[in-house]
Amino acid sequence: MEKSLGGAEFAPQTTYLNTASSGLIPARSVTAMRAAVEDAAAGKPQEGFEAVEASRATYARLAGVPVTRVAAGASVAVYAGLIATSLPSGAEVLVADGDFSSLVNPFAVRRDLTVRSAPLEDLADAVRPSTALVAVSAAQSADGRIADLEAVRTAARAHGARTLVDASQAAGWLPLTAADFDYTVAVAFKWLMCPRGVTFLTVPEDLGGLTPVFAGWVAGEEPWDSCYGPVGQLAQSARRFDESPSLFSYVAARHSLELVEELGPETIHAHDAALADRFRTGLAGLGPGLGHEPVPAPGSPIVAVPGLGHAAERLAEAGVYVSARAGNLRAAFHLYNTSADVDRLLDVLSGVRP
């Protein structure tokens, strides 16, 4: 029997193809988190902050930046909002059509900013001298399309614009050097397989001109000396942008991130993309009325099939978990999946009628 890339870390009891919504948590992470919760229930709570630092360090290595450029928090929207507050009134923000709301909305709610959108494929060409920031997801949530980040970066630099890349649907399988961009942000509960409540922000060496408007005691250079009154000295690193951490989640996260580092994003990408290609090929053979064409997304482990979103409920009844997004059936293949999972999805879909 074919083994998954994740080995003994995973034993799903369903055909789980919904990592784009939420990833499965490795056994090592579940064990650590359970122990921390049980210790807390017994009146012997672990401090947990060392897990935040271990997670930050591993993520920094995965992102290819010094640990001093990584902030640890809980939400893409919060960090996008932080960046939004740094922009001057009248600044133009360029986004991709239909990109994820947590990335786009924090800029839209500032009525004194101009938010302009363009098709993902034309985003680089849409950058102009008035653009202050280009904000885009590395991989689109609705359909898995991968942005041409090199073209976006080149165009932004040519016009003096900064870049914000949301790697929530890419971190863990898409090799990405965060230093290539001014800011990156990523939730970790999807492809990085952490519990909810873990998010990372990367900033430039000069901290990107951001004001830590939500800084609490954890953002102090000496956190335990920063508990009362105004923080005397903010951290000299990106830690000044930390949110007060969900410690149980970070206790688990350090182990999930270590697993991703052990396997390597390149290896994970090859595995995931091969399964996605198997599904794309199988779709063409489903027969008249069922041979739906997926949205073109070469190299992506996310496959979106227009017109089949209604099938998600029927698939769930058969123990096959995908999602419906923007009218698409969205299947996402990760390291704990095998070709048998792909074939099971295709088999159930063959019995679904429009």
CATH, residue 335: 3.90.1150.10
- Local confidence band at 1 (pLDDT 50, 70, 90 cut-offs): low
- How far is CA 303 from each of CA 66, 148, 281, rounded to the nearest angstrom? 33, 18, 11
Cβ–Cβ under 8 Å, residues 305 and 328 = yes
204 found inside a domain: yes
Is there a single domain that holds both residue 58 and residue 179?
yes
**1 located within any domain:** no
pLDDT over 80 (residue 289):
no
Q: Which of 11, 24, 12, 13 is nearest to 193 (CA)?
A: 24
Residues 229, 279 within the same domain: no
Is position 190 within any domain?
Answer: yes
Q: Are residues 37 and 69 in the same domain?
A: yes
Q: 169 in a domain, yes or no?
A: yes
223 and 279 share a domain?
A: no
Domain match, 229 and 307 both? no
Domain end position, chosen among 206, 238, 263: 263
Q: What local confidence, expressed as pLDDT, does residue 6 receive?
A: 86
For residue 95, is it within any domain?
A: yes
On the question of pLDDT at 177 being above 90, the answer is yes
Same domain, 135 and 228: yes
Q: Which residue has the higher pLDDT, 179 or 353?
A: 179
pLDDT of 23 > 90? The answer is: yes
Report the percent of the chain where pLDDT is more than 90: 90
| Residue numbers of the domain that contains 273 | 7-26+264-349
- How is 255-291 classified by DSSP, letter by letter? HHHHHHHHH-HHHHHHHHHHHHHHHHHHHTTS-TTT-
Please determine, for residue 213, whether its predicted confidence score (pLDDT) is greater than 70. yes
49 and 147 belong to one structural domain: yes
Q: Is the pTM of this model over 0.85?
A: yes
Model confidence at 184: pLDDT above 60: yes
Distance CA 268, CA 183 (A): 24
202 and 303, same domain (yes or no) = no
Pair (188, 257) in one structural domain: yes
What's residue 3's pLDDT? 76
SS3 for 56?
Answer: helix
- Domain count along the chain: 2
Last-in-domain residue among 213, 228, 263 = 263
pLDDT at 48: 87
> For the domain that residue 69 is a member of, what is the CATH number?
3.40.640.10
Among residues 300, 353, 303, 296, which one has the least CA distance to residue 323?
303
**354 in any annotated domain:** no
Q: Average pLDDT in the 184-195 region?
A: 98
Confidence at residue 350, expressed as pLDDT on a 0 to 100 scale: 87
Q: Are residues 202 and 329 in the same domain?
A: no
Judged against a pLDDT cut of 60, whether residue 291 lies above it is answered with no
Where a domain ends, among 263, 286, 318? 263
What tens digit of pLDDT does each residue of 38-77 get? 999 999 887 789 999 999 999 999 999 999 999 999 999 9
User: What is the rounded distance in angstroms from the CA atom of residue 291 to the CA atom of residue 283?
Assistant: 6
Instruction: Please report which residue ranges of the chain form alpha helices under DSSP H.
Output: 27-41, 49-63, 76-85, 101-108, 123-126, 149-158, 247-263, 265-283, 311-317, 339-349
Residue 52, pLDDT score: 97
- 155 and 207 together in one domain: yes
Kindly state whether residues 159 and 94 are assigned to the same domain.
yes
The pLDDT tens digits of the residues spanning 300-321 come to 999 999 989 999 999 999 999 9
CB contact at 8 A, 20 and 323: yes
Q: Please give the average per-residue pLDDT across 215-219, as a whole number.
A: 95
